[in-house]
A and B are shown apart, each in its own frame.
Chain A
């Protein structure tokens, strides 16, 4: 049974710092991996989708990598800003298309 783990559970950094969020999964037979952000009381905003055949995806200050064989993905955020404060969720896609989520990393960027 696929399990997704995100470390750390919470992270606080000063503004401007580069940071890395980690995601690991137990079954490497995934179709793709998706990173989301969730603001308090809000829905999920899709950040990046990495297909199983890809190694990384970039969008602005965000870069997500995928190493299927080791069951790991990282989300790199460059030059963090207070507006980046949110919970970041990693999810892998199961064989039936459903997403299996980690418990998230709560990021706080201090001005």
Chain B
């Protein structure tokens, strides 16, 4: 299936731990994004990469570090997890920054 996929789908962890979320797209797109959907269901951009280069870095704690090993992958690593990091994280991709974006199924992160 052509799609944007994320792993894991659910992630439950303790405060202070370090965790990673992986994202892969097989759509041949050159731009990938991470969005955060908070408890009130509001979606906000966190990062955007174009051809493995960071082009958007919103006001996000530096405990969050995206890594793009190649155009098809954009992983999100989170250090020293805090309760407020609990949210659903969505990966998305598009061909060039101004075209239609396609979203992954989301990763629900719960920090205890």
Which A residues contact B (CB, under 8 angstroms)? 31-32, 34, 36, 42-46, 49, 87, 89, 91, 93, 96-101, 103-104
Contacts and interface: CB of A to CB of B under 8 A. Distances in A.
B16 to A, nearest CB: 27
A27 to B, nearest CB: 16
Interface residues of B, number: 28
A43 B103 contact: yes
Contact of B98 (A91, A97, A100, A104): A97
Nearest to B98: A31
Interface of B: 31, 33, 35, 40-45, 48, 50, 55-56, 58, 90, 92, 94, 96-106
Contacts of A36: 103
Given A43-B105, A101-B44, A103-B40, A93 B90 contact: no
Contact of A101 (B42, B50, B96): B42
A71 to B, nearest CB: 19
Contacts of B90: 43-44
Contact of B100 (A46, A87, A100, A103): A46
Given A42-B106, A87-B41, A98 B56 contact: yes
Contacts of A100: 45
Contacts of B56: 96-98
B43 A89 contact: yes
B90 to A, nearest CB: 6
Given A44-B90, A49-B100, A96 B41 contact: no
26 contacts: A31-B98, A42-B106, A43-B90, A43-B103, A43-B105, A44-B43, A44-B92, A44-B103, A46-B101, A46-B103, A49-B99, A91-B43, A93-B98, A97-B50, A97-B55, A97-B96, A97-B97, A98-B33, A98-B56, A98-B97, A99-B35, A101-B42, A101-B44, A103-B40, A103-B41, A104-B41
